[in-house]
Structure 1
């Protein structure tokens, strides 16, 4: 009887091990196949922030920056994945940091999202800060993509004129009287992003929460070289 029980348990254990090995092989082959599909479609999880790998990331083997025209083309292709209602509003070209791109809705003209683009590889990913924390309509998903919430309804409690004053007071107190926020920028779903000016030139940007009035200075960009306004 004892030998019979041992034989039964041996068969069960062997079967369980065989199933486990088979499942592991299937899981490996499935993951490899899925990764190949994602790579061929131009998507790849490029780190904690994730993002999109464009053809430029493979083709641009030199150490030269992509042109703003190439960046614009890549971003426009990227936005096609979210339908036909998004377009590039502004491109900020920085000397020592990723390009900043503001995206707006074509039907409303309202800001939708803010993204960053690696100037050497073309990798696209969501800008950190207000874009990720305050955006009420286009929120970031795991992997660096945006999730569109068409049912977003809310009313801002901080008007644009009030937000401009809050931003202007902030830069004057934190950066100096030579700095100002005249009001250029975009109203996103949950916040405003304004340009910071000095000597009649745009030198950076900051955001103001349209519910609380909280200010978030975009101090991670570096020196601005050029602003390209598309719309």
Structure 2
């Protein structure tokens, strides 16, 4: 019996796994590698990117009937730049320390190939509900790549997870973190730029291994029924 995958399930699967921006498309690698030195920084940039992706897809889908083809790319960039400016102002006002830590990698969300790519390839050709969900799932997939890489690097470099949670969630969480490896001396390489490249490579290899195992399992022939 053949099962039909609904459009929203396919969008979610593409964004989170099959066509993940970080692990499959390899887009947005500059912020992905630079900001993922710990879990909190990665999560903050992931949430910011997810917001911009969702809103830009929604707006592009809404305005697509009135935007001329000749000027569509500049219009998309203006929409994305306006949304990034909103994110910058909010973070500067409410999360100033994180705003300073992320630095240039907040404004360059405007030039993230994931965002402009989804606006052109999907949002400009689909209705608002699907475009918004596509932006949400692609943003979540990019955030997932950031969080996994950031968590892995923090764990290897410090033996902890969630250091500086208060920068994102408030002073109530100051000093709250998970110590995974007590009395750990740390692996300096994980905190340095080469550690980001090595970590991303390991995560991509792990995803490819899981995909191959799943493909082999689904392709294996079913055992023949026993004779009566």
TM-score, normalising length from structure 2? Answer: 0.25
Structure number with greater Rg is 1
Structure number with the higher helix fraction is 2
TM-score, normalising length from structure 1? Answer: 0.25
